Structure 1
Amino acid sequence: MRADAFDNTRAAIVGRTVHAMELTAVVTGAARGIGRCVVMRLRAAGYRVVAVDVSPAVSDLAEDGRVVPVLADVTADAAPGAVVGRVVAEFGRLDVLVNNAGRFLRRPILSTTDDDFDTLLSVNVRSVFRLTRAALPHLVETRGCIVNTASISGLVGIANQSVYAMTKGAIVQLTRQLAIECAGAGVRVNAVAPGAVDTDFTAEARKADADPAASLAVTLANHPIGRMLTPDEVARAIVFLAGPESAGITGTILSVDGGYIAR
């Protein structure tokens, strides 16, 4: 069989398999930015998606019953059971968990409060641990996968990001540890580590800088491609790690950073 014919046949088979199995996903932090793009790309690939966010804007994602918005605070004690219960009740299975919800903080450690520390730890780490723990029994049943959103801040030192970097470093290590722990059960665990991404999230943070224009110039200079990443560029990497094309990949931290780490 010619290579192009093989590729076309394989694509058709994969498409039919996704439709027949009705693969499902949970995406947190889904209302905007990277999470929103992930939801739309998974939906386009044939997945049914439970989209979770603390913002009412998540309701805008509702589409034909295939994207079910859930208004929830991922740090709430009841959130993991409620979210996993919802996807199982709606769709009967869970194949992909995308832990994307997070908070950013750029602040010198001497200006960082205990509340700052507790908030970032709760959103960026504790919620990921608890939702993953709730989802794993279902992912074992489907031999599914987990994709976490980490950051380049969890891989290298960046000034004024001590607490944020610490939380993302925890996600990097949790990803690696779970990949080993869950490999025997057929569950893959990977993460993406974005560089600076052009979202409302980062724009709001930059407004707090003494000189936002100078801050942006430094950010662009640190990314060899000379620009910030788009949310969809990161979403594509997440969807790749969630899909059949990455079946042999687990324990990987995929940097989507415009060359930042390679400097």
Structure 2
Amino acid sequence: MRVFLTTLTVTFAALSSAYAVEFTPAERLKLQPSAMEGPSLDTMGLRPGMDLKDSLKAIEAEFDQNDKNQQYKTKTESFSLKSKGVEINTTQFVSGVYILSTWYLPPGTPSPDKISGISLQFSSPASGNKLMSIARDIYYKDPNRAPTKDQIHKMLIDKYGKPSLEEWNEGIKTIAFARSSGRYVKCENLLDCTVALPQYELSNYQGGGFSVGNKADYLLRISIDRNNYDMSGTKVGAIHIKLFDKTVADRAAQADIAALVEKANEVAATAPAVALPKF
């Protein structure tokens, strides 16, 4: 898959191009997970800024690439820029890993208590091909084999400490754990801790960078949904977990874009001259 970066704040714009170059950007930024006070805001040991190998190792106990009951997909793509009559393409890199287990097992196989899925996004080699965002989903069908919402709430508080936000909305409980410059921050509403976490795409970076709310730069948001098969209203039907670090993503995007712009300038300087008409 090829992703074109068509507009940049440095005034590079998309142009028709007849001169294309592919390159593998050198790592120009040594990213690490952000430091923070208090408990680690991770899920399954995953935090933005980890490299690809360590990210996959962290989830291998629950998500096995060889498990036939799981759909395991790896996405590769290329970041591209068209500018000054040239087209710059990075070589393909792993930009995403998507895994989803299923209820539909072979006959005679006991039904699992839960199924789960995970989506991981990674930056380009210019920023070290690092983990940028995590989205994880856990589903329960049989309420007799599902935990209660109170049980999950206690587990979250025990692991992550004081929440930045807790809200109920039509049986769905949202809990957010936020940091700003590594420190705990209290969110007054969902706008402070954002409703939807961004995707790591270079086009989303333009206009001031990524956003995880008015107050936070690091956000772990967890939604606990009711189980529609449970008449008591106490059992869990699904848990949705999202994790994003604006600081890590902003720095990665800057490095990924800078590699493209630098290469475009280099290639444009040596590209064949424009063919002029004869009068």
What TM-score do the two structures reach when normalised by structure 2?
0.25
The structure whose RCO (Cα within 8 Å, separation 6+) is larger is: 2
Greater strand proportion: 2
Greater helix proportion: 1
Larger Rg: 2
